[in-house]
Amino acid sequence: MNILLNNFQKQTLWILLVAILLSMVSFQVTKLRQEEKWKIDFDHHVEKASLALRGRLEVNRQILHLLRSLFYASKHVDRDEFKIFASQIIKSNGGIRALEWVPRVKAEHYFKYKQQAIRDGFPQFETREKTADGNFVTAASRPEYFPVFYIEPMRGNEKAFGFDMASDPTRFESMVTARDKAEAVATKKVHLVQDEEEHAGVLIFLPVYEGNNLPKDPGGRRVRLKGFVLGVYRVGDLVENVLAPIIRPDMELAIFQGDEDNPEDFLFKTLSPERKLESREVLNFFGQDWQLVWQGDASGPNQYFPHLIAGMVLVFGFLFAIAFELNFSRLQVKTLVENTVDGIITMDQNSIIRSFNPAAEKMFGYKEEEVVGRKVGLLMPVEFVNRYGDGLERYLKTGDKRIIGTLVEIIGRKKNGQEFPIEIGVAEFKRMGNRIFTGTIRDITDRKKLENELEALSQTDGLTGIDNRRSFDINIEKEWNRASRNQEPLSLILMDIDYFKKYNDTYGHVEGDECLKKVAAGLGSSLNRASDFLGRYGGEEFVAILPGIASEKALEIAENIRKTLINLKIEHASSDIGDHLTISLGVATIINTKDRKIEVLVKAADKALYEAKQKGRNQSVAVLI
């Protein structure tokens, strides 16, 4: 009896040991699979957030180049023009603390800038710097200054107005690098002078040079440096503006530059030792290497599911639980894909569409069943299909990731044939040995519309509403090429209001601005053809381009313009000619533009204008070249 009891106890012990072993194995296997799923989900969100952050950096690069185009478009950008242009940009792009214009001011020209600031309504303007104890004082004497001269918005940034960027070594180092490389360069971590509290800030400098051509070497860039357009950012505001709508609540991002053990080297938040999931990457932020550390919790739905499995010793229960887990994962992914605002398309290595989420259906106008099984070229204009196919074939053969892991702008085509701009990011994964590609697509029609509006704004004179110098440069080159192709004459009229400085001295700058608006409107009424161009050349100078007009006719048009201005009867008591405003005009016509440069025509018109002034003003002089 005792022997039987002992055998029974041994068998029971073995059953218990096997049950415990199975319980431990099932618990560990389930826990590892669950953590793997959480890691995959975490990496997916990191990739999506990282793409969004890199995309915003490119938008900020474009913003600075748009702002710089304003200074290339005109000889003189006044404070109101800068405010109008910059405020439109800030309104459409969150996370920007301020946009600034920082001119290069040589010591001998400082008084001129100070007088300009006083005329603009800032009688207390002075170039300042900050002492070691945080107080603002008048900048020390130096050969040249780089003061913040224009700033938008002014409210909340008043302390930065007049601050000399060259007085701070960190800022000056980035300015020198940007100047010599002729590209946008960011500072290391700085404290913004306009902030009372300690916030990690960065400045991005983009150099502006005299003339329209980029100097080829650093020596030429130092000589021709005009100043910098500047983006001011709190790192926290910039990052949170991008990530707030998309990052998961259980995820954190820390950014540092330098030593991660030094809290002073962190630009955004700090590392958390409690977070179990982590992904690191290096982001090139306008010449500065930012270390990005994404952290997340190794937890999620059904945290105690492995404990439940551990209690189920039967193999059938273990397999059933695994099946439930896999089905639950697929349901989560399906729910995420079906509810995201971005279009998501999956396709195989033969470009055959495998899935098409509701956002893609709404974007392209197709139902999923209409596109699944068909080639992705269905969603592109014909000219993009071959380009896409070549890129995919090159990647499959060589591994060249030109189309993988980057955001690309192309044109999409809706079911009704309408074409529209899209932004697409492509990622690859393998499923059961097959290579699958996922495209995340966003309709960027509104963004492109804004960019076009900003481009149009950069070609418009902020005061008169007519085209500006940048628009003139674009149009004269276009008409020059057309005249060369068609072998037609091309005429140019340069106009200068007579004694306008005396007008400003007599009536003030406000009335002077109103006068320029009236003159622009009068000049516009004298040009009747849609192909004629009228623009503000700078200050009180205007310019007209007359395609296909010969010299005699161009002189006749110039005389009509002059008489139109006289008929406006704008009072000018201090004129040396008469009681009303008059204008002098120089007309130049070129017959053969082949192998000749545009400057020949512009210089000829300028010379004719000078001759008109020498002859007593209020007249037109024409030359044929």
Catalytic residues, which ones? Answer: 540
Q: Which two structure tokens, joined as six digits, stand for 545? A: 């381009």
Q: How many CB atoms lie within 10 A of CB 546?
A: 23
User: Residue 364 in 3-state DSSP?
Assistant: helix
Q: Which two structure tokens, joined as six digits, stand for 443? A: 């309709």
Name beta bridge partners: 497.
Answer: 583
Separation of alpha carbons 416 and 603, rounded Å: 52
Place of tokens 């000219």: 383
Q: Which two structure tokens, joined as six digits, stand for 33? A: 């699979």
Separation of alpha carbons 176 and 402, rounded Å: 33
Q: Give 178-231 as a DSSP string.
A: HHHHTS-EE-SSEE-TT-SS--EEEEEEEEEESSSSPPSSHHHHHHHEEEEEEE
Q: Give 406-455 as a DSSP string.
A: SEEEEEEE-TTS-EEEEEEEEEEEEETTEEEEEEEEEE-HHHHHHHHHHH
Which of 568, 570, 462 minimizes the C-alpha distance to 506? Answer: 570
What's the angle, vertex CA 608, arms to CA 606 and CA 609, rounded to 5? 65
Separation of alpha carbons 353 and 346, rounded Å: 6
Q: How many helices (H) and strands (E) does the chain have?
A: 17, 24
User: Residue 255 in 3-state DSSP?
Assistant: strand
Q: Which two structure tokens, joined as six digits, stand for 397? A: 């053969």
Which of 427, 532, 517 minimizes the C-alpha distance to 479? Answer: 532
Cβ atoms of residues 583 and 498 within 8 Å: yes
User: Residue 5 in 3-state DSSP?
Assistant: helix
Separation of alpha carbons 310 and 485, rounded Å: 83
Place of tokens 């044939």: 417
What are the two backbone dihedrals, phi and then psi, of residue 370, each rounded to the nearest 5 degrees? Answer: -80, -20
Q: How many CB atoms lie within 10 A of CB 342?
A: 19
Separation of alpha carbons 39 and 24, rounded Å: 22
User: Residue 34 in 3-state DSSP?
Assistant: helix
User: Residue 130 in 3-state DSSP?
Assistant: strand
Cβ atoms of residues 226 and 208 within 8 Å: yes
- The radius of gyration of the chain's CA atoms, rounded to the nearest angstrom, is 34
Helix, strand, coil percentages for the chain (3-state, nearest 5): 45, 25, 30
- Can you list the positions of beta strands (E) in 78-135? 98-103, 105-106, 128-130
What's the angle, vertex CA 585, arms to CA 580 and CA 587, rounded to 5? 160
What are the two backbone dihedrals, phi and then psi, of residue 146, each rounded to the nearest 5 degrees? Answer: -130, 75
Q: Which two structure tokens, joined as six digits, stand for 366? A: 């197709």
What's the angle, vertex CA 174, arms to CA 172 and CA 176, rounded to 5? 70
DSSP 122: -
